[in-house]
Amino acid sequence: MGIHVIPRSFALSAFGGLGFLAIASALETAPMPRLVDSSIQKAAPVSPPTKVGPGSRSPIRKDGMALTGLSPAKVFPDLCKYRYRASTPSEQCQTYVDQALGFYYSYVWIEAARSFETALKHDPECAFAWLGLYRAMDKWGGGTKVPSAAPFLAISGGLGQSKLPDRFGKPAKEYALEQAKTLMPKASHREQLLITAKLQEKGMWPNVPPDERKKKATITLDELLTLYEDDEEGWFARAQIAEGPNSSVPFYKALLKVNPINPAANHELVHHYENMRRPALGWVNAEKYIESSPGIPHAFHMQAHLGTRIGKWGQTCDWSSRAVELQLAYHKFQDVRPSEDHQFVHHLEILTKSLVHDGRYADALKIKKVAQDNGYTGASFKHEWFRIALGQRDWAEAGKMIEAMRKSDKAGAAYYGALMALEKGDTKGAQAELDILRQGGAKGVSGKGGNKNDYRLWEVQGRLMCQQGNADAGCKLFRRIVEKTKDDFSHHAWGAGAYYMETWGTAALEGGIAAEAEEGFTEALAHDAGSVRGALGMWALCDRLGRNDEASRYLKVAERCWSKADRKDYDAIKSAMAQRAAKVPAAVAAVPSGEPNLSEGER
C-alpha cells in the first residue's frame, strides 16, 4: 500500500536570503503531487487558492474522516526527526503516527489530529494512535460534539477492516480515549501505562476520585519511567503533570539526556526560559528544536521568542522567513486555508517586526501583501507598516494610514500624526496632534508603573519640547519613560526595549544636548545591540564632536545592523541623524567614553 507524499523539492527548497519570495511564484506554477500508489483512498480534491479572512471557512469537510471531519493527511518527508514505535504491524500507520507526533509537539493541533486519524485508517487497532488522536483533538478543540451515527464511515477507509459502532453516546475525542482503553491488550506495556495515566488524569479509570486523578497518573508514569528510562513519551507526559513553577524542567532535561533533539522538550524549554525572563538560557534549545523539526514552520519561528530579546536579529529574520516559506507550501499541499492555521498570523506578525527592525522594508512590504490578502490587518501589523512609511519618508502613505485610523482610534491617530509631524520638523502640526492626544480617548494599556497612553503622551510632549527649545524639560520626560520601562520585560518583547531610549537620544540631538543624546543612544545599544538608530545617533554625535575613532566604530555597528537594508533607507536615517547632530555646539564635550553617566540629581 502507498501513502501520499509531498515532493522534497517542493516542501524543502534550499533557503537562501528570503526564501518565501521564491516560493511565492513556485506556488502558482508547481504541479500538485500525485499519489505514489492508487490502492489507497484519494484525498479530497485540492481547491484553487482563495483570498479569505480569518475564520471564513471551517476545516471540517463534507467528505472528511469520521471523527475529525478533516480530509486525510499526506506525508511530508523530513518533517520531524522524532520517532516513537507504536504497536502496529502497519508501516503506513507508523509513518502517520510519527508525523502526528511531530505536528503535536509543534502545537499544530489540527494536523496532529488529521495524521492520527489517517494512521487509524491503516490500523484501527493501534491503541497508541487512538491515544494520540484524543490528545490532539483535546488541544485542537475538535471532537467535542456528540456525533450522529448516520454519516459515519468505516474508519478503515474501505479496506475491509472493522467499522465504527453505529451508536455513540459521547464526544468523538472521548470515544477515541475509550478506544485506546479497549485496545490496551494489543499495546505494549509502555503504551498501556501511558494510556492508563491519561485515563486516570481524565477521570476515566475505575476508583479514581477527582482529587486523586493527577496523583494516580503520576504514580503510573513514575512506574513507566522506572521500568523504561528511555521512554520519551513517558518523560514528556510526566513533565506535563508536574506541579510548581519550574517543576517540569527536570523532566524535560532528563528527556534531552535520552534524545538531545527531542522536539517536545526543546520547544517547551524555549517557552519556559522566555517566561522566566532568562531568554539566553533557551537559545541552545531553540537551535535543537530547529534541528529536530526541519520541515515544521513553528520550529523556525520559535527562536524569535528569544532572538529578539538577546539581539540575534540576523538569525531571527532568516529563520522567521523560513517559517513563512514552509507554511505557504504546507497550505498549498494539504489544502489548508490560512484561517485554519492558527499559527500563521502570529508568524507573519513576528516576521514583519523582525524585517522592519533590520530595515528590510521591501521584504516587509511583500509580507504586508500576504497579510492583507488573507485579511490580517490588526494593530500590530499597522504599527509596523506605519514605521515603514515613516522610515521611508513616505508622508502620503503615513498620512493615509493616520486618517483611516481616526475613524476608530482618535487618540492612536493623534499619536501617529504627531510622530509624522515631528519627523518632518512640523512643530505646529505636532502641537495640534498633542492637543488631541491630551484630550484622552481609549485608556492606555497598563505597563510597569504606567500605561501606553502615558508613555505616548510623554514621548510626543518631550520631543516637541526639544524641538521648541525647551530640551531640558523634554529630556526629563524621556528619563521618566525610560525609568518606568527599562526593566519591564513585556515592553522589551519582540525588540521594543530600546525604542524610548532611541527616541530620547534623537530628541536630545534635536535639542542640542550632547550628554543626554549620548546617554540615550548608548542605553539603546545596551538594551538592543541591533539598534541602528542608537549606532547612527552615536556616529553623528561623535562625528560632530570630533571623536573620529568612535564615530568610525559606531558607523560599522550601524552598517552591520542594517546590512540587508535598502541603501537609500539606511542613508535617509544616517542623513537625518547628521542634520540633528548639527544642532549640538561643536565645542561641547559629551560625557567621556568609559566614564559613568551621572544621574540628574548628581549633576
The DSSP secondary structure of 360-376, one letter per residue, reads -HHHHHHHHHHHHHTT-
Can you say whether residue 324 is alpha, beta or left, with left for phi > 0 and alpha for psi between -120 and 50 degrees? Answer: alpha
- Cβ atoms of 355 and 387 within 8 Å: the answer is no
Instruction: Count up the domains in the chain and report the number.
Output: 1
3-class DSSP assignment, residue 243: coil
pLDDT value, residue 473:
97
> pTM of the full predicted structure?
0.83
The three-state secondary structure class of 446 is strand
C-alpha cell at 342: 492558527
Residue 273 included in any domain: no
pLDDT, residue 495, reads 77
Decide which of 414 and 491 is more confident. Answer: 414
% of the chain surpassing 90 pLDDT? 74
Query: Could you give the 3-state DSSP secondary structure of residue 303?
Result: helix
Residue 81 in domain: yes
Cβ 255 vs Cβ 246: under 8 Å:
no
pLDDT of residue 270 exceeding 80, the answer is: yes
| Residue range 383-412: mean pLDDT, rounded | 95
- pLDDT at position 438 over 80: yes
What is the phi/psi pair of residue 5, to 5°?
-130, 135
Query: Is residue 123 over pLDDT 50?
Result: yes
- 264: cell is 517536545
What type of residue sits at position 415?
A: Y
DSSP 8-state symbol, 148: -
Residue 196's pLDDT is what?
98
H/E run at residue 464: helix 452-467
Length of the chain, please? 603
The mean pLDDT value for 355-377 works out to 94
Q: Please report whether residue 501 resides in a domain.
A: no
Segment 537-567, tens digit of pLDDT: 999 999 999 999 999 999 999 999 999 999 9
Please list the residues that pair with 92 across neighbouring strands: none
Beta strands in 308-366 (DSSP E): none
What residues make up the domain containing 81? 61-187
Q: SS3 of 351, please?
A: helix
Neighbours of 7 (CB within 10 A): 14
Would you say residue 136 lies in a domain? Answer: yes
Q: Is residue 68 situated within a structural domain?
A: yes
Stretch 387-406: mean pLDDT, rounded?
A: 96
Grid cell for residue 41: 483512498
Tell me if residue 589 falls in helix, strand or coil: coil
The reported pLDDT for the residue numbered 137 is 96
For residue 528, which phi and psi values (nearest 5 degrees)? -150, 100
Find the CATH number of the domain harbouring 117: 1.25.40
* pLDDT, average across residues 46-54: 33
In a domain, 519, yes or no: no
Please report whether residue 143 resides in a domain: yes
- Identify the helix (H) or strand (E) that includes residue 447: strand 446-447
pLDDT digits (tens, 9 = 90+) for 140-183: 986 565 555 444 444 444 444 444 453 356 789 999 999 999 99
Query: For 138-142, which contacts have Cβ atoms below 8 Å and span 24 or more sequence positions?
Result: 138/173, 139/104, 139/107, 139/109, 139/112, 140/109, 140/110, 140/112, 140/113, 141/109, 142/68, 142/69, 142/110, 142/113, 142/172, 142/173
Give the tens place of pLDDT for each residue, 206-235.
999 999 999 999 999 999 999 999 999 999
User: With contact defined as beta carbons under 8 Å apart, do 521 and 502 qualify?
Assistant: yes
Q: Is pLDDT of 394 > 70?
A: yes
Residue 587 pLDDT exceeds 90: no
* pLDDT higher than threshold 80 for residue 21: no
Number of Cα atoms under 13 Å in the Cβ half of residue 61: 18
d(CA 463, CA 471): 8
Q: Does residue 165 lie within any of the structural domains?
A: yes
Average pLDDT, integer, range 120-146? 90
Sign of CA dihedral 63, 135, 139, 276: negative
